[in-house]
Every structure is written in structure tokens, then in C-alpha cells.
Amino acid sequence: MSQLVETARENAALIIDHIQVAIPEGEEARAREFFVDVLGMMEEKKPAKLALRGGCWFRLGACVVHVGIDPEFRPQKKGHPTFAVTDLDGLAERFESAGFDVRWDSELEGVSRFYVADPFGNRLEFLADGHGLSQRSQHMGEAV
């Protein structure tokens, strides 16, 4: 193992700063409805040079989502971000009230979670705060 990898593991120096999901061109308004109106995030102003590309940025606390335009967009059905939330049941109700299909999953023992497709078909996972793999004890996942 390299010294850099060993140091990163010891210091937990590697964190995800933000995630990006893709949407079709011209669909920023629908993205705003989803991320602001349903998820309760706030839109952040993109830097001028990046704003020329389209898309939008959203934040709620330390959770940052960038929505980027992909001219050859195809929804992500397998790869997905996972969001830890304090009121999982309440969020599920908000999704259902907004017309989204909430698919609960119980395959990970002791983890309360569900999946939702955003308005563009991208798979998103939501789980109860404290149930995230990064939040659980390190011995849960044995090193290979």
C-alpha cells in the first residue's frame, strides 16, 4: 500500500465534496422543482463561466448537488448517490405527495432506506441518518 493511501486512511483525508447528476438539456426548471420544492434544498449561484454550460447547483447544509447538462443524457438506473436524512418517513411522504414512486428496500439488515427516481429517471437513494455505510462502524465492511 502506498504511503499516500495509508496516510489518507489514517487521517480520513478523503471525503466527497459534492456529487453531480446529469439531466437533459433545457430541463433546469424541472430540476429546481425537484431539488428545491420536494427536497428542500437551496439553489446556489454558479460561477459565471460555469453558468454558460447550463445546469444548476443546490445545497442543504453540507450536502451539495450539482446538476449538469448532458446532450447525450441517459438516466442512471444503477449508479446513484445516497443521502442520509433525519426524517426518512416524512421525506417518503413528501415524495409520494409530489407523485414520485418510493421503493423501500430491506436488503441491508438494520438499514432503513428507499429509492426514488428523479424527474429524469436517475436513481437516488435515501436512508435514515445514522444508517449510512460511512456512518456505521468500520468493522461492517471487511477489507478485501
34-93 pLDDT per residue, tens: 999 999 999 999 999 999 999 999 999 999 999 999 999 999 999 999 999 999 999 999
Domain interval for residue 50: 17-140
The pLDDT of residue 2: 56
The pLDDT of residue 11: 64
Q: Which helix (H) or strand (E) holds 32?
A: helix 28-32
The pLDDT of residue 23: 98
Confirm whether 10 is domain-assigned: no
The pLDDT of residue 15: 78
Buried b / exposed e along 84-94 (16+ C-beta atoms within 10 A): bbeebeebbeb
Position 14: which residue type? L
CATH number of residue 108's parent domain: 3.10.180.10
Provide the number of structural domains found in the chain: 1
